[in-house]
């Protein structure tokens, strides 16, 4: 009889497991969802890491990142879990910039809580003062989510003074200065780059300077029309007091021409925009050839969605020579 006890017991266990599978699965469904129990409290995170802080921060992030988009069916629970994630990982590894960046993106785009996003990015910037990307993200969050130009300018002021800052960010900062009527500062930030040893850097700085002058002229022309009830006809109309900072009047008007449509035109700006477009189009040609094994046709070049070439000058047309898009004589 005893020899049958073990098989009977095993059979009973199997039957019990089968019978309890459904109710246990339902009861434990909530536990299988990620939650604060899976993330140590910030105050305990370093202790539990046993000295391996970076490793533990990586493990926590890898275990959490897949669940950021999961539906918890309980918003408050997910909020508590996120708070634990964004508190514990920076405590373990303050230089883990991805957490600040990814977390802020989630908080602004999905959770719709820009204040928490800004607080998280401010923490990241404080912990990583040399990380320009985090500072730019903080500035853009202030600008897009709170429409706070003052805070945006305050953050970007430090960023643009760093030699590593890119031209796009500097251009955005310049446009904010112009909108705030700080015309002299908007132009002055590019002057120091005009003598750079790299030709591309010099031309990029000059292009941004010309764009800033054009933006000042557009604003001045709009203000003139508002104040006098008609559009300005000649550049000297823009000498009216208050349309632009006195320090930049001569600089802006020196190359300005108002076309028949009443738009401000700067010959040097148009020339540099043309060269910039040719460089961008040439990069697109290289990418196109690497993907298709051939150069694009002229129609494909002109219709590509990534680079818009301006109309060529009279008597010229675009052509592809090797890796370069060039202007060639003759009509297209």
Cα angle 49, 53, 56; round to 5: 65
| pTM for this predicted structure | 0.75
| 43 plus 143 within the same structural domain | yes
| 310 plus 215 within the same structural domain | no
Q: How many domains does the chain have?
A: 3
| 69 plus 146 within the same structural domain | yes
Residue that terminates a domain, selected from 209, 241, 262: 262
Within a domain: 118: yes
Are 320 and 300 contacting, i.e. CB atoms less than 8 angstroms apart? no
Within a domain: 19: no
| 170 plus 231 within the same structural domain | yes
Q: What is the distance, to the nearest Å, from the Cα of residue 237 to the centroid of all Cα atoms in its chain?
A: 38
Task: Quote the CA–CA distance of 285 and 296 in Å, as a whole number.
Answer: 7
If DSSP codes are grouped into helix, strand and coil, which group holds residue 327?
Answer: strand
Half-sphere exposure of 262 (CA within 13 A, CB side): 10
| 245 plus 315 within the same structural domain | no
* Terminal Cα-to-Cα distance of the chain (whole angstroms): 100
The range of the structural domain enclosing residue 222 comes to 166-262
| 73 plus 143 within the same structural domain | yes
Task: Quote the CA–CA distance of 23 and 29 in Å, as a whole number.
Answer: 10
Are 173 and 156 contacting, i.e. CB atoms less than 8 angstroms apart? yes
State both tokens at 220.
């001045």
| 187 plus 160 within the same structural domain | no
Tokens 């898009």 locate to: 325
Within a domain: 324: yes
| CA-CA-CA-CA dihedral for 178, 183, 188, 191, to nearest 10 | 80
| 241 plus 132 within the same structural domain | no
Residue that terminates a domain, selected from 109, 129, 164: 164
Tens place of pLDDT for every residue, the chain, 332 residues? 555 555 555 555 555 555 545 554 454 444 444 444 456 665 666 656 666 778 777 777 777 776 666 666 667 777 777 777 888 888 888 888 888 998 898 888 877 889 999 999 999 999 999 999 999 999 999 999 999 999 999 999 999 999 899 999 999 999 999 999 999 999 999 999 999 999 999 999 999 999 999 999 999 999 999 999 999 999 999 999 999 999 999 999 999 999 999 999 999 999 999 999 999 999 999 999 999 999 999 899 989 888 889 888 888 999 998 889 999 997 65
| 54 plus 154 within the same structural domain | yes
DSSP-assigned beta bridge partners for residue 327:
318
String of DSSP letters for 50-100: TT-HHHHHHHHHHHHHTTTTS--S-HHHHHHHHHHHHHHHHHH-TT-HHHH
Question: CATH code at 152?
Answer: 1.25.40.10
Residue that terminates a domain, selected from 129, 164, 199: 164
State both tokens at 233.
């006809």
């Amino acid at each position: 009889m005893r020899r049958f006890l073990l098989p009977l017991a095993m059979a009973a266990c199997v039957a019990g497991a089968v019978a309890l599978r459904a109710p246990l699965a339902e009861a434990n469904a909530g536990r299988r969802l990620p939650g604060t129990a899976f993330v140590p409290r910030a105050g305990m995170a370093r202790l539990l890491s046993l000295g391996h802080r970076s490793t533990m921060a990586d493990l926590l992030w890898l275990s959490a990142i897949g669940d950021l988009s999961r539906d918890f069916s309980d918003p408050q629970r997910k909020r508590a879990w996120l708070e634990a994630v964004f508190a514990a990982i920076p405590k373990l590894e303050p230089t883990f910039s991805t957490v600040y960046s990814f977390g802020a993106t989630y908080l602004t785009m999905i959770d719709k809580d820009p204040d928490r996003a800004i607080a998280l990015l401010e923490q990241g910037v404080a912990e990583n003062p040399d990380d320009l990307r985090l500072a730019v993200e903080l500035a853009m969050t202030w600008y897009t989510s709170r429409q706070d130009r003052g805070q945006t300018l305050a953050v970007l002021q430090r960023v643009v003074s760093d030699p590593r800052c890119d031209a796009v960010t500097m251009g955005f900062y310049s446009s904010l200065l112009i909108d705030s009527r700080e015309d002299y500062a908007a132009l002055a930030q590019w002057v120091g780059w005009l003598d750079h040893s790299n030709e591309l850097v010099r031309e990029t700085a000059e292009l941004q300077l010309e764009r800033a002058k054009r933006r000042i002229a557009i604003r001045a022309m709009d203000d003139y029309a508002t104040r006098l009830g008609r559009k300005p006809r000649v550049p000297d109309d823009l000498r009216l007091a208050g349309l632009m900072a006195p320090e930049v009047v001569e600089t802006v008007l020196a190359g300005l021409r108002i076309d028949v449509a009443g738009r401000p035109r700067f010959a040097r700006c148009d020339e540099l925009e043309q060269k910039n477009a040719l460089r961008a189009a040439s990069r697109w040609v290289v990418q196109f050839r690497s993907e298709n094994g051939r150069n694009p046709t002229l129609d494909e070049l002109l219709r590509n969605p990534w680079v818009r070439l301006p109309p060529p000058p009279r008597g010229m047309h675009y052509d592809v020579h090797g890796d370069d898009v060039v202007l060639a004589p003759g009509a297209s």
